[in-house]
Amino acid sequence: MISLNVNEKDLQVDVDPETPLLWVLREHLDLPGTKYGCGVAQCGACVVHLEGEAVRSCVTKVKRAENKKVVTIEGLAENNDHPVQQAWTEVDVPQCGYCHSGQIMSAAVLLKENPNPTDEDIDLAMAGNICRCGTYSRIRKAIHVAAEINKSST
Ligand code: FES
Ligand code: FES
């Protein structure tokens, strides 16, 4: 049994400790918002927060998350109203949408670490999140909008 705290809930899962966290979230905990893209840490579709850091859950063994706090897109904000999610809606960022849970999770960590990022900061921080639909300019714009929402709420 592995003890986890996922989206503020303490729970236990009966899985091989080597299992990627992604599959525990999707298959065992019924949290399908975190996506499988490449499986080899190259695309960012599977990003979740582990103790507040953005990690690629496809290559993170569940044992690394034992007794730690995991947050997925489903738990980022109670009403899906995290500033990044608000900005994503306002800018209408997604095209097919597949990459966006990972994009939003990465953007949330970026803004926590750098509340007022430049375009260059955004491009650097988000470089590991691939969007096959090419929504990069809207992602950049939405991150600036989220930074403004954050400022106006403090
Ligand atoms: S699925 Fe994890 S980085 Fe692509
Ligand atoms: S919106 Fe389609 S992959 Fe990003």
Judge if 42 and 104 occupy the same domain: no
Q: For residue range 77-117, list pLDDT tens digits in order.
A: 999 999 999 999 999 999 999 999 999 999 999 999 999 99
Please tell me the distance between residue 15's alpha carbon and the centre of ligand 2 in angstroms: 31
**Domain CATH number, residue 11:** 3.10.20.30
User: 48 phi and psi, to 5 degrees?
Assistant: -130, 175
Q: Which atom of ligand 1 is nearest to the CA of 57?
A: 2
Residue 154 pLDDT greater than 80, yes or no: no
> Does 88 share its domain with 68?
no
Q: Are residues 62 and 98 in the same domain?
A: no
Residues 27 and 65 in one domain: yes
Residues 56 and 87 in one domain: no
Which of 75, 100, 132 is the last residue before a domain boundary? 75
Number of domains in the chain: 2
- The pLDDT score that the predictor gives to residue 33 is 98
Q: How far is CA 111 from the centre of its chain?
A: 12
The 10s digit of each residue's pLDDT in 37-62 is: 999 999 999 999 999 999 999 999 99
CATH number (domain holding residue 133):
1.10.150.120
Same domain, 51 and 103: no
- What domain range includes position 25? 2-75
The closest ligand to the CA of 48 turns out to be 1
The ligand that comes nearest to the alpha carbon of residue 96 is: 2
* DSSP single-letter state for residue 36: P
Question: For residue 22, which ligand has an atom nearest its CA?
Answer: 1
Ligand 1 atom with the smallest distance to the CA of 37 is 1
Residue where one domain finishes, among candidates 75, 100, 116: 75
Ligand 2 mutation target, pool 73, 96, 104, 126, most atoms within 8 A of CB: 96
- Is the domain of 52 the same as that of 91? no
Give the residue from 31, 52, 75 where a domain finishes.
Answer: 75
Per DSSP, helices labelled H in the chain are: 21-23, 83-91, 100-113, 119-125, 136-152
- Pair type for strands 2-6 and 69-71: parallel
If you search the block for the tokens 């900005």, which residue do you land on?
87
For atom 4 of ligand 2, the residue with the nearest CA is 131
Do 100 and 37 share a domain, yes or no?
no
Q: Which residues line ligand 1 (CB under 6 A)?
A: 36-39, 41-46, 56, 58
The reply to whether 147 and 93 lie within a common domain is yes
Check residue 153 and give its pLDDT: 82
Query: In percent, how much of the chain has pLDDT > 90?
Result: 97
Q: How far is the CA of 43 from the centre of ligand 2 (A)?
A: 11
